[in-house]
């Protein structure tokens, strides 16, 4: 049944409508593929009973002519999304066997559209990481390997379970979240398409919070069209998220294939960082040529505060994390470790429950928010954030429609390869993606070629606020020009 | 900016995370490296720049002042590590 898993959702949708196979058959094929791919450690929890039950409901709706936009879609859900009655841990020990009695807004929209949940996907603990190596469930393995090597590579992070599962064809699409690059970087490492929507486009309600002013939900999918289809059912207003935006959700799929003729695409000179590998440089100029060939105009632009985005992020994100993660106190949910008094109980619970990266970020956050340092660190970082946003506003005001950059500074690296690197070296993975979160903009990561070692490389397109459509149109041009990239099955 | 070991202990206390004595010096090194990295921001002139409060234009929305959720103690308490009846159980807080 592996052929069923090779279809995109757009293809499967057509076949489902034509009754060539049923939603139950499609989802069964995925459940089998998941079982065969357990060595990849992409899923932290499989939910086959739920999948088959919902797939049968999908078949009933298809038979009645009531198919939704995601009817029958075999979906993987990042373990950061609360799922009603299904264990949700953010891949942290501190949440233990937490079972939410509610469903996140985004997954409930997807379920209403007919999506079928296959299980919960691995991620970095509380989404803090760029390689998914901080997960309490261990590291998911990238389906891609270097030419002539069987060394295990990371699938990126924090949504490494989502990217690995989509690339390994053990789900047809996945939910993910992006705080500094956690959708786009793992998508880039696995030859998949990842979309980080405009801040406010998707509700954060029911998604475990990391840094609330930066967090945004989005899809990882097989190709641009599938990503657009998924986005259409993930976006939408939710009164329970005070930052959710009440504007109509456009027909994203209609933007795929739309002409890019006459669009102005900015290429920011500040992204030409020191030591950028020649193959990334080449990929980038090739992408610009491809957009030009499709009728777009390429212009050099300047985003002068780019280099300050990452240091500012490593103040703002830990500060918000230290505040958000204060709720894990061993009282209301999760594991508890006893102490002589309540403070010691909190301290022991949090020391045992949080992994080292999470502890480090909470402590940095507590430090930059503490009396005497708040203005020097936190307020200064928020001012820098204003400057970063103004850089983009200036470029867009000059008539630029989208900005083209590399998605990551390198291809996927080996599991454990960065073990002796400093935290800061790991943070550099997000150098091209983090500006987008700081400014609240939409960004898409689209595969554009293979490295000399045979690993996927990707480009990023950054759009105006709420103009995801232009991103789908431009990303489709890059995709059409370079073709799709599929990992050979070895697992 | 670098931190001393007492600062590491103070921050750990603020964060309510127990830190063993043999972890302090390693943490000090890691926090120093991160603080050195973010130090780059001090070279920027941010005089007169308003700090970011929201990346999208946002106005506070009002809703009707009515109860729209609640009365469901079982759901609230179902994940508690320790409970008695409809209460969370914690170590004694008030002498």
Q: Which pLDDT value is given to residue B68?
A: 86
Q: Is A420 a domain residue?
A: yes
Query: What secondary structure letter does DSSP report for A172?
Result: S
- Locate the DSSP E strands across A211-347: 216-221, 264-268, 297-301
Q: Is residue A463 part of a domain?
A: yes
Residues of A in contact with B82 (CB under 8 A): 336
Count of Cβ atoms closer than 10 Å to residue A393 Cβ: 13
Residue tagged 């090194």 (tokens)? B29
According to DSSP, the residues that pair with A388 across neighbouring strands are none
Cα angle A242, A248, A250 (rounded to 5 degrees) comes to 130
Cα A359 to the chain's mean position, in Å? 23
Using alpha carbons only, give the angle A361, A271, A317 rounded to the nearest 5 degrees. 15
Domain contains A295: no
Cα A35 from Cα A17, distance rounded (Å): 27
In chain A, the number of structural domains is 1
What is the C-alpha separation between A111 and A206, in angstroms, rounded? 14
Which of A315, A364, A438 is facing B31, going by the closest CB pair?
A: A364
pLDDT for res B1:
66
pLDDT value of position B61 = 84
- pLDDT tens digit sequence for B31-81: 999 999 999 999 999 999 999 999 988 778 888 999 888 889 999 999 999
Measured between CB atoms, which of B15, B37, B79 is closest to A99?
A: B79
Q: List the domain range (segments joined by +) for residue B32.
A: 5-43
Are A401 and A295 in contact, with CB atoms under 8 Å apart?
Answer: no
What burial letters (b/e) apply to B1-10, b meaning 16+ CB within 10 Å? eebeeeebee
Range of the domain at A110: 2-262+407-482
Which of B2, B3, B17, B80 would best serve as a mutation to test chain A binding (most A beta carbons within 10 A)?
B17
Asked whether residue B18 is domain-assigned, the answer is yes
Assigned token pair, B55: 């990346």
Residues in chain A with pLDDT values less than 50: 1
- Tell me, what's the ipTM? 0.95
Given A108, A182, A203, A233, the catalytic residue: A182
Of these residues, A22, A28, A58, A78, which one is catalytic?
A78
Q: Is residue B89 part of a domain?
A: no
The H or E element that residue A175 is part of is strand A173-178
Judge: A347–B78 Cβ closer than 8 Å, yes or no: no
Sign of CA dihedral A306, A312, A316, A318: positive
Buried (b) or exposed (e) across A352-365, using 16+ Cβ within 10 A? ebbbebbbbbbbbb
Q: What is the pTM of this model?
A: 0.97
Which letter, b or e, does each residue of A28-37 get, where b requires 16 or more Cβ atoms within 10 Å of its Cβ? bbbbbbbeeb
Q: Does any domain span residue A42?
A: yes
| Residue contact B30–A243, C-beta within 8 A | no
Going by their DSSP bridges, the two strands A297-301 and A264-268 should be labelled as parallel
pLDDT one-digit tens code per residue, A288-327? 999 999 999 999 999 999 999 999 999 999 999 999 999 9
Which two three-digit tokens encode residue A184?
């786009």
Which member of A351, A386, A424 has the closest CB to residue B52? A386
Dihedrals φ, ψ of A141, to 5°?
-105, 135
pLDDT score of A2: 54
E-assigned strands of A197-350? 216-221, 264-268, 297-301
Decide if A213 and B41 are in contact by the 8 Å CB cutoff: no
The domain that contains A179 carries what CATH number?
A: 3.90.1300.10
* Inter-residue contact A273 to B86 (CB < 8 Å): no
Q: What is the pLDDT of residue A348?
A: 98
Give the pLDDT score at A288.
98
- The pLDDT of residue A1 is 46
Q: Is residue B38 part of a domain?
A: yes
Instruction: Examine residue A350 and state whether it is found in any structural domain, yes or no.
Output: no
Among the partner-chain residues A332, A379, A440, the one whose CB lies closest to the CB of B51 is A379
Tell me the chain A residues in contact with residue B14 when contact means C-beta distances shorter than 8 Å: 366-367, 370
Domain count, chain B: 1
Cross-strand pairs, B40: none
Q: Is A212 a catalytic residue?
A: no
How many residue contacts between A and B have a Cβ separation below 8 Å?
Answer: 162
- Interface contact B17-A347, CB threshold 8 A: yes
Residue B35 lies in a domain: yes
Q: Which chain B residues are Cβ-neighbours of A363 within 8 angstroms?
A: 8, 11-12, 15, 17, 27, 31
- Separation CA A122–CA A45 (nearest Å): 9
Give the model's pLDDT for residue A273: 86
Q: Which among A309, A349, A357, A363 is the top mutation candidate for probing chain B, defined by the most B β-carbons within 10 Å of its own β-carbon?
A: A363
Nearest residue, CB atoms, A366 vs list B15, B63, B90 = B15
Q: Give yes or no: A182 in active site.
A: yes
- How far is the C-alpha of A342 from the C-alpha of A353, rounded, in Å? 16
Question: Is residue A375 one of the residues assigned to a domain?
Answer: no
3-state secondary structure of A35: helix
Q: Which residues are bridge partners to A219 per DSSP?
A: A175
* 3-class state of residue A173 by DSSP: strand
Contact between A316 and A382 under an 8 Å Cβ cutoff? The reply is yes
Mean pLDDT of B81-89: 95
User: In a mutagenesis test of the A interface, which of B32, B52, B87 is the best target, namely the one with the most A β-carbons within 10 Å?
Assistant: B52
């Amino acid at each position: 049944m592996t052929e069923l898993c090779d279809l995109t959702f757009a293809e499967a949708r057509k076949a489902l409508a034509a009754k060539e196979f049923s939603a139950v058959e499609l989802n069964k094929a995925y459940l089998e593929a998941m079982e065969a791919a357990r060595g990849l450690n992409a899923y932290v929890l499989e939910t086959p009973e739920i999948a088959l039950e919902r797939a049968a409901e999908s078949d009933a709706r298809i038979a009645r002519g009531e198919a939704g936009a995601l009817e029958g879609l075999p979906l993987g859900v990042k373990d950061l999304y609360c799922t009603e009655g299904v264990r949700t841990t953010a891949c942290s020990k501190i949440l233990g066997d937490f079972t939410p009695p509610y469903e996140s807004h985004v997954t409930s929209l997807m379920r209403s559209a007919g999506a079928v949940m296959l299980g919960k996907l691995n991620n970095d603990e509380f989404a803090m990481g760029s390689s998914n190596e901080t997960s309490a469930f261990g590291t998911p393995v990238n389906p891609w390997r270097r030419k002539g090597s069987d060394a295990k590579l990371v699938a990126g992070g924090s949504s490494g379970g989502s990217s690995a599962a989509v690339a390994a064809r053990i789900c047809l699409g996945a939910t993910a979240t992006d705080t500094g690059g956690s959708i786009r970087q793992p998508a880039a490492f696995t030859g998949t398409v990842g979309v980080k929507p405009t801040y406010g486009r998707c509700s954060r309600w029911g998604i475990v919070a990391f840094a609330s002013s930066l967090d945004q939900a989005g899809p990882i999918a097989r190709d641009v069209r599938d990503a657009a289809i998924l986005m259409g059912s993930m976006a939408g207003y939710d009164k329970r998220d005070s930052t959710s935006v009440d504007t109509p959700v456009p027909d994203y799929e209609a933007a795929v294939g739309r002409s890019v003729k006459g669009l102005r695409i900015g290429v920011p000179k500040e992204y030409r960082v020191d030591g950028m590998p020649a193959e990334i440089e080449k990929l980038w100029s090739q992408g610009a040529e491809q957009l030009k060939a499709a009728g777009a105009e390429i212009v050099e632009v300047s985003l002068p505060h780019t280099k300050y985005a990452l240091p500012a992020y490593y103040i703002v994100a830990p500060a918000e994390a230290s505040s958000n993660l204060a709720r894990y106190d061993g009282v209301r949910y999760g594991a508890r470790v006893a102490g002589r008094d309540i403070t010691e109980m909190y301290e022991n619970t949090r020391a045992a429950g949080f992994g080292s990266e999470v502890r480090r970020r909470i402590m940095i956050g507590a430090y930059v928010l503490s009396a005497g340092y708040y203005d020097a660190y936190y307020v200064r970082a928020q001012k820098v954030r204003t400057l970063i946003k103004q850089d983009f506003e200036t470029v867009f005001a000059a008539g630029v429609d989208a900005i083209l950059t590399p998605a990551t500074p390198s291809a996927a690296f080996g599991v454990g390869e960065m073990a002796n690197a400093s935290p800061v070296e790991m943070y550099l993975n997000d150098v091209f993606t983090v500006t987008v979160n700081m400014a609240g903009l939409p960004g898409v990561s689209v595969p554009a070629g293979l490295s000399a070692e045979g690993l996927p490389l990707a480009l990023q397109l950054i759009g105006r606020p709420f103009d995801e459509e232009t991103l789908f149109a431009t990303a489709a041009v890059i995709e059409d020009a370079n073709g799709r990239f599929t990992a050979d099955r070895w697992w | 900016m670098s931190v001393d070991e007492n600062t590491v202990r103070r921050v750990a206390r603020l964060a309510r995370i127990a830190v063993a004595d043999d972890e302090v010096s390693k943490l000090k090194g890691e926090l120093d490296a991160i603080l050195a990295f973010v130090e780059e921001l001090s070279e920027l002139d941010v005089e007169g720049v308003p700090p970011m409060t929201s990346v999208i234009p946002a106005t506070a929305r009002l809703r009707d002042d009515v109860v729209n959720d609640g009365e469901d103690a079982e759901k609230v308490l179902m994940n508690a590590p320790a409970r008695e009846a409809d209460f969370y159980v914690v170590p004694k807080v008030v002498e």
